[in-house]
Structure 1
Amino acid sequence: MARTAQKISLARQLPLFLLIWGIASLLMWVPAVMALVQNDHDVSRSFFYSGIVGLTVVTMISLAMQGRRSRRGTLGQLLALMATFALLPLFLAVPFHDALRTTSFLNAYFDMVSAITTTGANLFTEPGRLAPSLHLWRALVAWMGGLVMWISAAAILAPLSLGGFEVTARGQPGRAVPGAAQSERADPRGRLLRICRTLAPVYLGLTAVVCVLLLIAGEAELTAICHAMSILATSGISPVGGIAGSTSGITGEAILFLFMFFALSRLTFSSDTATSGYARLDQDPEFRIGVAIVIGLPLLLFVRHWLAAFEVDAVESFEFALRSLWGSMFTVLSYLTTTGFVSADWEEARQWSGLGNPGLILLGLALIGGGVATTAGGVKLLRVYALYLNGYREMEKLVHPSSVDSGDKGNRRIRRDGAFIAWIFFMLFAISLAVVSALLAAFGLSFDQALVLSIATLSTTGPLIDMSGEISIRLVELNGWAKLIMCLAMVVGRLETLAIIALITPDLWRN
């Protein structure tokens, strides 16, 4: 007990960025061991030595900073979170670049930013180009990035009313919630460690369950591990090019489909940030909207498929029709949660109906995104719900100008201030989309390509790049400036614009 207390005390003294850096250094030994078992000694040495160097640097900096206490509070942790997504990939790319040896360091950095932000943009389109340990490293980095978001949502974003919590919170975005300010200033690191001890075992356990179920379904070991980590992190990273290269069939898809629901609402795995009135999953507006989209949109596509199939005289068996419906449901949920996996039956559904590439549908789903405080990106379902309530109330007033709002207290808060803040976020997201698209177009990309890349990066849905157009975009052929702009967009999409604006506050930089 004394040693455990001493370790916790030491962890409270270290800056958050150093803690994450140290954990990333330890994780490098996982692909190192895998490469050693496979007699790939060059790759094993790259990860093993990089892990040792990382731990050495973290230890030296920790010793130099011993006895210092940060006075920046929760805002300082938000700054460390931004550094994790923007600066830590510089270190994560070192063993990847050294082990691959056939790409530039910029490409390695781009790939690590894509992984840790759970974007999953596929820079290396041929899975055979990467060694199995490199595939594992990409999935592992994305898995770590998802865990960081799980923990930071409750420990950092919620106290500051950011990341979607501003819609229901009483405090202003970027400032501590009234009534909790003293506790957060007194021990923000303690809150972070308590949430980490609570959620990390849940995250690890769910990943292990998915992996075991995929192995039982007949999936290969590496594919099962990578797909399990990708589903929990909503990164869409696969060592076999996606679901099409999987060996578990429709059983494996059903397993992945079930666990993608964890990205629709935080109440599926924790109630630590639940607001009054929405502590039950069946009453959670995010989960209900997500389920409605997952069921309603595929049914509309299914009916459209039947009509198109009759038009081209391509009506097939009832079993083929059900496979088409299943492919639509799986793909809709995958892109709504910004995972990016595509069902093996998705292409058959398109061919059966004679429809073209429904890229706009996938773009819209990725923009909506998943639930607040989950690993999903996008605008988030809670903000969509806030604007829906506000619009519904305005239509009521058009019909009955003297009507009184009869909604519950939580909905009245969302209709009033929540809808206003949600609309501000939509405007900031649209401005970010326009700026990133203009910058990408300035470096030689067409309007369609710039728009697709902007939506894919800001919504952290990398596989969208290959699915939204008739001709996929080869990221490796883009120039260096375009890749750097996309890296910046991925960081902005992961942290969100309001959080980055909150970092400009004078309270953070005063000392």
Structure 2
Amino acid sequence: MQFRSIIRIVGLLLALFSVSMLAPAGVALIYRDGAGVPFVVTFIILLICGFVCWFPNRRQKRDLKARDGFLIVVLFWTVIGSAGSLPFLLVNSASVSVADAFFESFSALTTTGATVLVGLDDLPKAILFYRQFLQWFGGMGIIVLAVAILPMLGIGGMQLYRAEIPGPVKDSKMTPRIAETAKALWYIYLSLTVACAIAFWLAGMTFFDAIGHSFSTIAIGGFSTHDASMAYFDSYAINMITVVFLLISACNYSLHFAAFASGGVHPKYYLKDPEFRAFIFIQVMLFLICFLVLLNHHSYDTYYEAFDQALFQSVSISTTAGFTTTGFAQWPLFLPMLLLFSSFIGGCAGSTGGGMKVIRILLLTLQGFRELKRLVHPRAVFTIKLGSKALPSKVIDAVWGFFSAYALVFVICMLALIATGMDELTAFSAVASTLNNLGPGLGEVSLHYGDISDSAKWVLVISMLFGRLEVFTLLILFTPAFWKN
């Protein structure tokens, strides 16, 4: 293990992250809300800490191995999540505890969107912008951004990329060089953010709200600058824009790259992808179920309102964004639990969505059908194909391993929450929401997480990290084999 090289890289990344504090400081200067000093102080502290880590190890330039990449990713998210809590602690108007500050920071960076803050409409603009900005960074992953820069510093980036990018198959690259891949991802990410912000602004949002909500929409985070979330705007147009960009962001970014690299958006690149077709099928079915149940129970006055609410909430929850326009927890029958369970599927691999990813659920389904066929024809040989490509058994084994590890982490976190005194429904939904990086839950956490105990918040911070790093990246550090030479 190249520990000195790892400390050097973490120092560089921490210094890079410190620069992001200047953006909310600039917002504080523009709006004159008096919240700029904490961000400047945080910038100085993080820059010094980054320099202290980097300077003694500045000559440690060695190639990274796979284990080094995993450790750097975990260290970085832990360190950055902790560092990101400083502004919340330093801003007097926020008045948060240490547990609350860490919870809010990790929730933003992991794009979970669960909040402990109330009275958002009265908070300084700088704090509101900072929350949205953290989500935007976390959406694609600051590590991927650093991958495009680290090669210039003499550091190979493929190990970081493999540890950070979500999905069961992590060896494929859109371009021959990993640095070019990371740049392509960020160009697409930035372009979608700008397009979303313009659309929100034209639909009636203020410039500040348009920028902030474009950050959280493309990141599939779910933070809002208002307590009422998207219901604050009460606009069918804004709801539809949100739905469109959530669906785009929940697709595999390699599909976006292939479509745009061909000189224009060609539907064939999307329609040929089995995961995309499964994703659209799931979205359509969820919407139809919600829409029909809401109509049957006369939950809304008009068909159009029922259509709007069913479409928005089904897409928002299933893609793990967590925006709300209504109290979906009070919807009739099984709809709240249905939407919560849909977040376990989440978005496509290689997207900014959370959950286990559509591709894994698709492969588990295909594996289930294969086992049924084997029961009928015990001597027959069946292969699992994704499209026209037969998948090797190691991919299926990896998916089963991921599923079992995901379930194990879920059960342990849920039991830990119950041990803190939380009721079963709230504990179940809180872990589901944080592990899937969703945000809103049921029971005591249907609106916010400010009323739960500090010990429960620390458990949920760990759950967020497991979800964002797709369980294995964090879990592998607890295996003895990882630390052996």
The letter of the residue matching 2:421 is G
Contact 1:16/1:77 (8 A) holds in 2: no
SS of the residue corresponding to residue 120 of structure 1 reads coil
Partner of 2:180: 194
Partner of 2:342: 365
Contact 1:331/1:341 (8 A) holds in 2: yes
Partner of residue 191 from structure 2, selected from 192, 202, 205: 205
The structural deviation recorded for 1:300 is 2.5
SS of the residue corresponding to residue 87 of structure 1 reads helix
Structure-1 separation of matches of 2:9 and 2:188: 21
Q: Deviations over 1:302-327 (max 9, x none)?
A: 33334434xxxx896xxx21331232
Are residues 1:142 and 2:139 paired? no
Q: Which has the larger radius of gyration?
A: 1
The letter of the residue matching 1:37 is I
Partner of residue 230 from structure 1, selected from 176, 194, 216: 216
Are residues 1:325 and 2:302 paired? no
Are residues 1:33 and 2:26 paired? yes
Structure-2 separation of matches of 1:120 and 1:307: 31
Contact 2:275/2:362 (8 A) holds in 1: yes
SS of the residue corresponding to residue 91 of structure 2 reads helix
Residues 305 and 72 (structure 1), Cα distance of their counterparts in 2 relative to 1, 3 Å cut: same
Partner of 1:342: 324
Q: Deviations over 1:375-412 (max 9, x none)?
A: 21111111110011112223334455565548757667
The letter of the residue matching 2:286 is L
TM-score norm. by structure 2 comes to 0.84
SS of the residue corresponding to residue 444 of structure 1 reads coil
> Percent same amino acid among aligned pairs?
25
The structural deviation recorded for 1:502 is 3.1
Counterparts of 1:111-260 in structure 2, within 5 Å, are 111-148=104-141, 151=144, 155-156=158-159, 159=162, 163-166=166-169, 193-241=179-227, 242-246=229-233, 249-260=235-246
Q: Deviations over 1:425-446 (max 9, x none)?
A: 2221111111001111111111
Structure-1 separation of matches of 2:163 and 2:208: 39
Are residues 1:93 and 2:85 paired? yes
Structure 1, unaligned stretches of length 5 or more? Answer: 1-11, 170-176, 185-189, 273-278
Partner of 1:490: 464
Contact 1:437/1:451 (8 A) holds in 2: yes
Partner of 1:395: 372
Residues 391 and 207 (structure 1), Cα distance of their counterparts in 2 relative to 1, 3 Å cut: same
Contact 2:291/2:306 (8 A) holds in 1: yes
Residues 71 and 446 (structure 1), Cα distance of their counterparts in 2 relative to 1, 3 Å cut: same
Are residues 1:284 and 2:270 paired? no
Residues 157 and 36 (structure 1), Cα distance of their counterparts in 2 relative to 1, 3 Å cut: closer
TM-score norm. by structure 1 comes to 0.80
Partner of 1:266: 253
Contact 2:114/2:448 (8 A) holds in 1: no
Partner of 2:291: 302
Structure-2 separation of matches of 1:205 and 1:292: 27
Residues 418 and 192 (structure 1), Cα distance of their counterparts in 2 relative to 1, 3 Å cut: closer
Are residues 1:428 and 2:405 paired? yes
The letter of the residue matching 2:91 is A
Structure-2 separation of matches of 1:112 and 1:321: 39
SS of the residue corresponding to residue 61 of structure 1 reads helix
Residues 470 and 359 (structure 1), Cα distance of their counterparts in 2 relative to 1, 3 Å cut: farther
The letter of the residue matching 1:164 is G
The letter of the residue matching 1:76 is D
Contact 2:251/2:351 (8 A) holds in 1: yes
Contact 2:251/2:347 (8 A) holds in 1: yes
The structural deviation recorded for 1:231 is 1.0
Contact 2:14/2:46 (8 A) holds in 1: yes
The structural deviation recorded for 1:161 is 11
The structural deviation recorded for 1:74 is 3.6
Partner of 1:374: 351
Partner of residue 53 from structure 1, selected from 21, 27, 45: 45
Contact 1:266/1:374 (8 A) holds in 2: yes
Contact 1:163/1:499 (8 A) holds in 2: no
The letter of the residue matching 1:297 is L
Partner of 1:69: 61
The letter of the residue matching 1:269 is H
* Equivalences, count: 459
Judge which range, 335-344 or 250-259, deviates more: 335-344
Structure 2, unaligned stretches of length 5 or more? Answer: 148-156, 260-267
